[in-house]
């Protein structure tokens, strides 16, 4: 599969666009996401801290991800 250059942007205008050479758009997004995001299972302490700050739990419905 040949690579293409994808423009990866953000819904947040303060974040710069990125040009990423990849095999597919999903690969380009994953590449950028790994550099700026992290994910882990929330611990009890994480839940207490975030809920007390007003963070809400977001549920993904089937077909949204």
Full pLDDT tens readout for the chain, 65 residues: 789 999 999 999 999 999 999 999 999 999 999 999 999 999 999 999 999 999 999 999 988 77
Q: Does pTM surpass 0.75?
A: no
In a domain, 60, yes or no: no
And the tokens for 24? 């597919």
Q: Which residues of 1-29 are buried (b: 16+ CB within 10 A; e: fewer)?
A: eeeeebebeeeeeeeeebebebeeeeebe
- How far, in Å, are 2, 4, 33, 50, 55 from residue 19 at the CA level? 16, 10, 13, 33, 32
In a domain, 15, yes or no: yes
pLDDT score of 9: 96
In a domain, 14, yes or no: yes
In a domain, 24, yes or no: yes
Count of the separate structural domains present in the chain: 1
CA angle 14, 41, 33 (to 5 degrees): 30
In a domain, 28, yes or no: yes
Q: Which domain holds residue 43?
A: 4-52
């Amino acid at each position: 599969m040949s690579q293409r250059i994808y423009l990866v942007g953000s819904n947040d205008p303060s974040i710069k666009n990125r040009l990423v050479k990849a095999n597919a758009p999903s690969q380009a997004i994953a590449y950028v996401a790994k550099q700026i995001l992290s994910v882990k299972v929330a611990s009890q302490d994480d839940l207490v801290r975030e809920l007390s700050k007003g963070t809400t739990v977001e549920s993904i419905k089937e077909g949204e991800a």
